[in-house]
Amino acid sequence: MIQNPIPWPNGARCACVISFDMDADSLIHIARPADAHDRLYPISMGRYGPNVAIPRILETYRRLDVQQSFFLPGWCIETYPDAVEAILKGGHEIGHHGYLHEDPIEGPDQRYWFERALTAYRKYCGGTPAGYRAPVYNINQEVVDLLVEHGFRYESSMMADDIPYQVETAKGSFWEMPVHWGTDDWPPFAHYAEIGYMMPVKAPSVGLGAFWEEFDATYEAGGFFMLIVHPFLTGRLARWRQVEMWLEKTLATKDVWFARLDQIADHLDGLVARGAYQPRVEKLPYYSGPQGI
Amino acid sequence: MIQNPIPWPNGARCACVISFDMDADSLIHIARPADAHDRLYPISMGRYGPNVAIPRILETYRRLDVQQSFFLPGWCIETYPDAVEAILKGGHEIGHHGYLHEDPIEGPDQRYWFERALTAYRKYCGGTPAGYRAPVYNINQEVVDLLVEHGFRYESSMMADDIPYQVETAKGSFWEMPVHWGTDDWPPFAHYAEIGYMMPVKAPSVGLGAFWEEFDATYEAGGFFMLIVHPFLTGRLARWRQVEMWLEKTLATKDVWFARLDQIADHLDGLVARGAYQPRVEKLPYYSGPQGI
Amino acid sequence: MIQNPIPWPNGARCACVISFDMDADSLIHIARPADAHDRLYPISMGRYGPNVAIPRILETYRRLDVQQSFFLPGWCIETYPDAVEAILKGGHEIGHHGYLHEDPIEGPDQRYWFERALTAYRKYCGGTPAGYRAPVYNINQEVVDLLVEHGFRYESSMMADDIPYQVETAKGSFWEMPVHWGTDDWPPFAHYAEIGYMMPVKAPSVGLGAFWEEFDATYEAGGFFMLIVHPFLTGRLARWRQVEMWLEKTLATKDVWFARLDQIADHLDGLVARGAYQPRVEKLPYYSGPQGI
Amino acid sequence: MIQNPIPWPNGARCACVISFDMDADSLIHIARPADAHDRLYPISMGRYGPNVAIPRILETYRRLDVQQSFFLPGWCIETYPDAVEAILKGGHEIGHHGYLHEDPIEGPDQRYWFERALTAYRKYCGGTPAGYRAPVYNINQEVVDLLVEHGFRYESSMMADDIPYQVETAKGSFWEMPVHWGTDDWPPFAHYAEIGYMMPVKAPSVGLGAFWEEFDATYEAGGFFMLIVHPFLTGRLARWRQVEMWLEKTLATKDVWFARLDQIADHLDGLVARGAYQPRVEKLPYYSGPQGI
């Protein structure tokens, strides 16, 4: 089912990343800038992420010895330094996720906010992030150019393939770690009128069960399985219990490589360097101007 | 899965509250003030609550000897005094839920409507309510201050944790009994174009089955399980039959403390007073001004 | 679970009505009056009702010897006379459903359209309909008064109870045959952007399975089970096959009274006349003016 | 359940078409003409279709020796010539699907875009397409007339029956291959805010399971089963794996005629020519002007 499967380390049949976007209450501040600071329900819903879900998730990862990738808006890095510290202490990776979860397509001053997020990263995490995921997946060419300019190794907001591929621009290239709505927790769990996301919340076993079906097909095909999930949604008690049980079962019975996205980029670079793999390439920009009629 | 579990009375493994918001037809009057009095379908849908569902629910509680918490807008207290009397007679608690289910964030004159609801409460229920739940969960700082000023013991509209925690302000504090969209019946059952809630109605066993999954995880973790449901939705025949069967089974086979929220506040106060528990504290206000960009 | 259950004929445990609203393409003409006549997809979707689904439904009813209630807008009566004739020939009942499925709350000239629908009824069906269902359930006081004025025996758009009840006004009264979103096929099956109904279409067994759960609880409680469904949705091949199989099974194994709504009104009148039943009464108008704040 | 069943070739019990609309990124260019070329997430989601899903789908069809129908906007034919070539090489059929997935109801200059799509077809596929499907199903009388003028043999955007029927106009006629929302993959899988399609993504087995229920009823009734699906949705790994398994099972155990729509048109023409079948006829235009009130 996959045309050019990637050989995974130690013959693992599939790579697996549970990537968390820890947006906390940035979502409400960007959606309702005038009065969000006084909207206590969405703020509290967001705070559940860094304060309750992140410790729970990290404890599971620690116990199972798994390292994964987290994406945090710069404002969240500044506002929730304890969560940042705990994530890094667990050996996990933190990626760039905008400054206040601002939509790159809609926002002016992309460079300013992009670099302000880098400043927050540098101060709280040290160095530069290896990867980027656009808020609401809305990457555009300006952000692509910023990623190349700042030496990002990978990006994770696009959907042109099932498995990692290369994005090539005139000025440089990076790995794309592709996302998909079938493994994202907004559709099954997001019920958030203020940001226009009124999904009919699924039962934990139903919402997560859909993800495991995706995994089963990916495992069979020897592919790349990534969840794009959020602490305040998937880190809730009943849902995380299901993820935890799935992790325990999968680690015990399947030959899966759980890894951070930067480790996957390392592996891919190594394969390419020694001529062991030829990735698919998407050349950007796709179009020089409007195609509309 | 819970960092600081609460010791429940008599070693019960989990506390359980089925909290009903009896909004009746207040929802349509606040949504369509000009002509709601002539919209007979939503009025009749709302009246099902006090007139048909409440007697049914109370009969189940009486038979099973369970006391629970109900939240009523002041206007509903005035308009449906028989339901109020029956609820109180069953040993249940009635909490503050606005005057006409007005959204505190959108409405001016919060003090006026907040206190007018208190007047209705005083007249029909006697005294002052112990607890508050904001219509559409939209509590803000002004309401927090009113709660402190009027000596409320608990609030139930925020989501910063799985278990009760303390909200602390400069002028006083109260217990937060946290809510969650995974145990609220708007997402599975609300189909109400006039208030913008067009959910694809789930089967009774599917909608309620999601709640019981939440319970199972909460029970395993020794937590706090609260339904936030509505008589005109969950009190319908086929749905309530499922709740009733679940109640019978749970009471017979599990070690659960079914209680009113004010009783849970009592228990928590007792634990803190004798140094047996240290709650998590959220300090309000969260922000002194806009965080938006 | 039901406070004042109705004794059904011959000791049947439950009354059952599959009521069809045959709206055909009236829905698109009223929603997009300017260009609907040129919107061939929604017109054809609507025409499926009278031309394909109605013959299929009637054949099932004929074979199983069941008579049921259909509601047709006057324009549909005029436009699809063959369907009208076939429905009446099967011993079924046709009720009033507006003229072009116009929303009574939004439309001016209710008397004009109400009576124009009566004219169509008189011409194609003969006499006056016994019952009425408001398009989109949106009955108001003006329509209530028209029903009383024209001697309607029942109405079916409100939700104040699980079982039939009496609506009483200063000028007269009628039976209310209550509806419910849990037994309506818009939520599970309507996917119709032009009328703002974008439901995630359920599988036949899932959508109809929810209805059968409602039936099971109603049967257990000795109540009134009514489907509010549409030929172009529930009359589709795979869905109707499931209804047909449920009908066969239910007729063979349960003690159910399948009846037309006018027959149920007859039965209720008889019960009341001989003092065998005291119905619940809702007095209209509910309010003399706006209750909003 | 079907009034005038079509006799299928070699006594097959049912005809079956998996029709793919390969819209690729035309959807975003038409929805957001000003800046779509810089919206990399929806472009990449669209590109998954021709670049990843189409090769996967074609490989399955090749292995199972099945030929099917694909509908492509003219712009997609020009932009993804490799996909076009591979589709044709597999013995499949390509139909007309607008130029840039423009809605015929909303767009001016239908003749211009209709014929520009024909030009693209002629250049890349050779000759003229046999069939047409309107973008978003929105066919109108102007398009009907263009189909007749250009000698199209069939159309596939309307819903007036379960099985193919004839559309007759004053100037000529064609076969209608009817569609249905119960076998379309937008409702179960489309989550695409930019085009206003926010469905709660179903699990692969749930979304496709609904389709197979439709098939089972169609097979039992001896009808016409058509999926209207999209490479970027149903061609995803986990979903296509389920389709593939269903295909394998169905081919092995059922007596089904898998065919292209033009082959079905051939078969129907043959039946009619030798007097073996009398199709239902829909005469267009349906109305000479507005029916609205």
pLDDT digits (tens, 9 = 90+) for B8-49: 999 999 999 999 999 999 999 999 999 999 999 999 999 999
pLDDT at A292: 75
Position C183 in a domain: yes
> Tokens 């790995």 appear where?
A175
**pLDDT above 70 as % of chain A:** 100
**Closest residue of chain A to D242, computed from CA coordinates:** A217
> Tokens 């279709």 appear where?
D49
**pTM metric for this prediction:** 0.97
**pLDDT above 90 as % of chain A:** 99
Query: Is residue A95 within 8 Å of residue A156, measured between CB atoms?
Result: yes
Residue among A38, A43, A191 whose CB faces B181 most closely: A191
Position D1 in a domain: no
> Per-residue pLDDT averaged across D199-228, rounded?
98
Tell me the sheet residues that pair with A282: A167
> Per-residue pLDDT averaged across C259-282, rounded?
98
**pLDDT above 70 as % of chain C:** 100
Q: Which residues from chain B sit within 8 angstroms of residue A199, using beta carbons? A: 187
- 8 Å CB contact of A160 and D48: yes
Residue C135 belongs to a domain with what CATH number? 3.20.20.370
ipTM of the complex: 0.97
Amino acid sitting at position D65: D
**Closest residue of chain B to C156, computed from CA coordinates:** B41
Tell me the sheet residues that pair with B154: B131, B175
Handedness of CA A24, A26, A31, A33 (dihedral sign): positive
> Per-residue pLDDT averaged across D200-226, rounded?
98
Crossing angle of helices C204-221/B237-253, nearest 10°?
Answer: 80
Q: Is A35 on the interface with B (CB under 8 A)?
A: yes
pLDDT at C107: 80
Q: Is B168 on the interface with A (CB under 8 A)?
A: no
pLDDT at C235: 98
Q: Rounded CA gap, C52 and C62, in Å? A: 16
pLDDT at C293: 76
User: Smallest Cα–Cα separation from A3: which of A273, A286, A277?
Assistant: A277
Amino acid sitting at position D35: D
> Tokens 């009808």 appear where?
D223
Position C201 in a domain: yes
> Per-residue pLDDT averaged across A76-81, rounded?
98
Amino acid sitting at position D197: Y
Q: Is C281 on the interface with B (CB under 8 A)?
A: no
DSSP string, A41-83: HHHHHHHHIIIIIHHHHHHHHHHHT---EEEE-HHHHHH-HHH
Neighbours of chain C (3+ CB pairs under 8 A): B, D
Token pair for residue C42? 């929604």
Query: Is residue B188 within 8 Å of residue B206, measured between CB atoms?
Result: yes
- 8 Å CB contact of A218 and D199: no
Task: Please determine, for residue C202, whether its predicted confidence score (pLDDT) is greater than 90.
Answer: yes
Neighbours of chain B (3+ CB pairs under 8 A): A, C
Task: Please determine, for residue A100, whether its predicted confidence score (pLDDT) is greater than 80.
Answer: yes
Residue among B51, B100, B238 whose CB faces C214 most closely: B238
What confidence category does residue B292 fall into, taking pLDDT thresholds of 50, 70 and 90?
Answer: confident
User: Smallest Cα–Cα separation from A241: which of A213, A201, A203?
Assistant: A203
Q: Which residues from chain A sit within 8 angstroms of residue B140, using beta carbons? A: 38-40
Q: How far is A209 from chain D (nearest CA, A)?
A: 7
Q: Is D205 on the interface with A (CB under 8 A)?
A: yes
Q: Rounded CA gap, C230 and C207, in Å? A: 13
Q: Is C216 on the interface with B (CB under 8 A)?
A: yes
pLDDT at B136: 97
> Per-residue pLDDT averaged across A136-142, rounded?
98
- 8 Å CB contact of B203 and C217: no
C-alpha distances out from residue C277 to B56, C259, C268, C280, D262, Å: 20, 19, 8, 10, 64
Q: Which residues from chain C sit within 8 angstroms of residue D223, using beta carbons? A: 237
pLDDT at D140: 97
Q: What is the mean pLDDT of chain C?
A: 97
> Per-residue pLDDT averaged across B124-144, rounded?
97
Position A124 in a domain: yes
- 8 Å CB contact of B291 and A36: yes
Distance of CA B17 to the CA centre of its chain: 9
Task: Please determine, for residue B107, whether its predicted confidence score (pLDDT) is greater than 90.
Answer: no
Cβ count near A189 (within 10 Å): 26
Task: Please determine, for residue D292, whether its predicted confidence score (pLDDT) is greater than 80.
Answer: no
> Tokens 């696009």 appear where?
A158
Q: Which residues from chain A sit within 8 angstroms of residue D55, using beta carbons? A: 3
- 8 Å CB contact of B162 and A33: no
Q: Rounded CA gap, A70 and A57, in Å? A: 11
- 8 Å CB contact of D291 and C199: no
- 8 Å CB contact of C40 and D218: no
Residue among B30, B113, B237 whose CB faces C162 most closely: B237
Residue among C144, C180, C200 whose CB faces B200 most closely: C200
Task: Please determine, for residue C80, whether its predicted confidence score (pLDDT) is greater than 90.
Answer: yes
Q: Is D102 on the interface with A (CB under 8 A)?
A: yes
Task: Please determine, for residue C292, whether its predicted confidence score (pLDDT) is greater than 80.
Answer: no
What confidence category does residue D293 fall into, taking pLDDT thresholds of 50, 70 and 90?
Answer: confident
Cβ count near B261 (within 10 Å): 26
pLDDT at D222: 98
Cis (ω within 30 of 0) for the bond into C285? yes
Q: What is the pLDDT of residues B157-177, one digit of tens each?
A: 999 999 999 999 999 999 999
Q: What is the C-alpha R_g of chain B? A: 18
Q: What is the pLDDT of residues B171-222, one digit of tens each?
A: 999 999 999 999 999 999 999 999 999 999 999 999 999 999 999 999 999 9
Q: Is A2 on the interface with D (CB under 8 A)?
A: yes
Q: Rounded CA gap, C231 and C242, in Å? A: 14
- 8 Å CB contact of D204 and A221: no
Q: b/e per residue, B169-208, with b = 16+ CB within 10 A?
A: beeebbbbbbbbbbbbbbbbbbbbebbeebbbbbbbbbbb
Residue among D213, D284, D289 whose CB faces C205 most closely: D213
Q: How far is A47 from chain B (nearest CA, A)?
A: 6
Position D115 in a domain: yes
- 8 Å CB contact of A293 and D99: yes
pLDDT at A108: 80
**Closest residue of chain A to B211, computed from CA coordinates:** A203
What confidence category does residue D205 fall into, taking pLDDT thresholds of 50, 70 and 90?
Answer: very high
What confidence category does residue A107 fall into, taking pLDDT thresholds of 50, 70 and 90?
Answer: confident
Task: Please determine, for residue C284, whether its predicted confidence score (pLDDT) is greater than 90.
Answer: yes
User: Smallest Cα–Cα separation from D254: which of D282, D219, D209, D210?
Assistant: D219
Position D159 in a domain: yes
pLDDT at D123: 98
Q: Is B113 on the interface with C (CB under 8 A)?
A: yes
Query: Is residue B185 within 8 Å of residue B231, measured between CB atoms?
Result: no
Burial label for D90, CB within 10 Å (0-12, 13-18, 19+), is middle
Q: How far is B161 from chain C (nearest CA, A)?
A: 32
Q: Count the domains in chain A.
A: 1
Query: Is residue C257 within 8 Å of residue C220, measured between CB atoms?
Result: no
pLDDT at D254: 98
pLDDT at D108: 80
- 8 Å CB contact of B44 and C213: no
pLDDT at C110: 94
What confidence category does residue A284 fall into, taking pLDDT thresholds of 50, 70 and 90?
Answer: very high
Phi then psi for residue C262, to 5 deg, are -70, -30
> Per-residue pLDDT averaged across D90-98, rounded?
98
Residue among D35, D40, D204 whose CB faces A213 most closely: D204
Domain of residue B137 covers 9-283
Q: What is the pLDDT of residues D254-291, one digit of tens each?
A: 999 999 999 999 999 999 999 999 999 999 999 999 99
**Closest residue of chain C to D190, computed from CA coordinates:** C200
C-alpha distances out from residue B209 to A203, A234, D62, D283, Å: 7, 18, 43, 49
Max CA pair span of chain D? 56
Position C293 in a domain: no
Position C206 in a domain: yes
